[in-house]
Structure 1
Amino acid sequence: MKFCISSIIAMILLICVSLPVLAAGTETNYGYATYTGSGYSGGAALLDPIPSNMEITALNPTDYNRFGVKAALAGAYLEVKGPKGRTIVYVNDLYPEATKGGLDLCPTSFAKIGDMSAGKINVNWRIVKAPISGNVSYRIKEGSSQYWAAIQVRNHKYPVLKMEYLKDGQWINMEKTEWNHFISTNMGTRPVKIRMTDINGNTITDTLSGLLQSGTSNAYIVPGNVQFPDAN
């Protein structure tokens, strides 16, 4: 009987470890915020162009690369609460020297939730649904071709952790990079079916038009046909 009970407990633990550890918006994170006027171009997540009036933030490495996935929270929207109030910011950059929970906000956002003279304030934050409309879109990085391709998902409701493409009846995993693109080789030039998974464990499929035969010198955007569902 002891063996059976211990085996059942071990099985339950194994199942729990396999499940997603975060549902967007349900986990509150605690840390601090500073502010900077930079970040509107050349951010680590390569999400340019960023409108000059957009509220943005850089995020500490621990949270930026959650679940062992590089750039896991790139493109996420965070509701941030400070001493004076709350605001919503867009994650487009990395805050390398920050500890877990740390944010480097744009001045507009910092002023909404704290006193600028403080320079650094305690905050808490959570992931929320992006205030967007329409379907996802894809940025095809410069240099992409039938032989090597780097694809970024944009305009998604929640952070995207995984992308795969279908080849010969098999789903092939694409590695996510620290610069917020999924990369793969030998995807060909024909339209290709892709599958994406967000931070809530929701999966959607789409079809990308064929990649160029030779590498493109400029990045370009491809409109998508699907969008992630709302979190439960």
Structure 2
Amino acid sequence: MNRRHLRWIVPAATAVVATVVAVVLVTQVGGNAACAAGGSASHYSAGRNGMCNLGTPAEGAYAAVGRAEYAGGSACGTYLDVTGPNGTTRVQVVDMCPGCPAGKVDLGKGAFARIGALSAGIIPVTYATVRDPEVGPLRVKVSGGTARSSLSVVVDNHGNPLSTVELQTPSGFAALRHGEDNTWTGSFGALSDPVTLRISDGYGHQALVDGLALGQKDFQQTQTQLYGGPSPSPSPSTVESSAPASPEPSATTLAAAATKSPPKC
């Protein structure tokens, strides 16, 4: 009896070990990815903005994640390394996929085609969040801030999940509220133009961005980086939101920040 029991359990244990090894190997790809997950990927074409209001990166380098991983908008603007049958690609999370269960991602067609055949429709993948991905300087869209409308802010090129966005006021910094549509909002009455924001992520990176004009419909390109480089903050220039700048390859993060903290394995 004991021998039969052992012959049955050893293959199962071997399978578990193999799975753990595979996850560890995928997690180590690129050096800074974390929390590898196994699942599947499909492909789609996003609208102009996606639910995150970030626009869509060039060459289809974007992704939508399921509601749990979307975490109320906390995954917006983060990056994933997704590995499929034909290799690995990096994508930015710009959307939510309401019908996707945990472990499934919906990729832009360009990203999907780099790791699998479009004709397959759905492919097996592993994917992992990327900590401190290479991104350009922060891009910030600021609207409202008048006597009749709340301040509304969207931030791009932050790479990691954001923890807070704060407005500088005469009495100190006041926190904005993050919504599922990835906007940070707050009611402060009529504000003086321009405004200054303090932006922080879940890993402790922080940047002060000043000279942001109110009432701009497009993203304002700053020269301030949240991490990984010098952070001067001259007056930003306005850029078209329909063609957002994104790193090559673009990427996104999976989800960890329902509690506004970085993902943990």
Q: Which TM-score bucket, shorter chain as reference? A: 0.7 to 0.9
- Structure possessing the higher radius of gyration over alpha carbons: 2
Q: For the structure 1 residues 197 and 189, does the alpha-carbon distance in structure 2 shift closer, same or farther, using more than 3 Å as the test? A: same
Cα distance in 1 between the residues matched to 2:212 and 2:107: 37
**Match runs of 1:26-175 below 5 Å:** 26-36=34-44, 38-48=45-55, 50=56, 53-65=59-71, 70-128=72-130, 129-133=132-136, 135-141=137-143, 144-147=144-147, 148-175=150-177
Sequence identity, in percent? 24
- 1:65-99 per-residue CA deviation (whole Å, 9 max, x = no partner) reads 1xxxx311112221101122111112111101111
Assess if the C-alpha contact under 8 Å between 2:77 and 2:159 holds in 1.
no
**Match runs of 1:163-202 below 5 Å:** 163-186=165-188, 188-202=191-205
Cα distance in 1 between the residues matched to 2:204 and 2:51: 25
Q: Secondary structure in 2 aligned to 1:53?
A: helix
**RCO (CA 8 Å, sep 6+): is it higher in 1 or 2?**
2
The residue type paired with residue 227 of structure 1 is: Q
Per-residue deviation, 1:180? 1.2
Cα distance in 2 between the residues matched to 1:186 and 1:63: 31
Matched with 1:219 is 217
Q: CA RMSD in A?
A: 2.3
Q: Which has the higher helix share?
A: 2
Cα distance in 1 between the residues matched to 2:37 and 2:89: 15
Per-residue deviation, 1:40? 4.3
Cα distance in 2 between the residues matched to 1:116 and 1:223: 34
Where structure 2 has 5 or more consecutive residues not aligned to the other structure, the ranges are 1-31, 229-265
The residue type paired with residue 176 of structure 1 is: H
Q: TM-score, normalised by structure 1?
A: 0.73
- 1:32-58 per-residue CA deviation (whole Å, 9 max, x = no partner) reads 21112x20414111122x355242211
Q: TM-score, normalised by structure 2?
A: 0.65
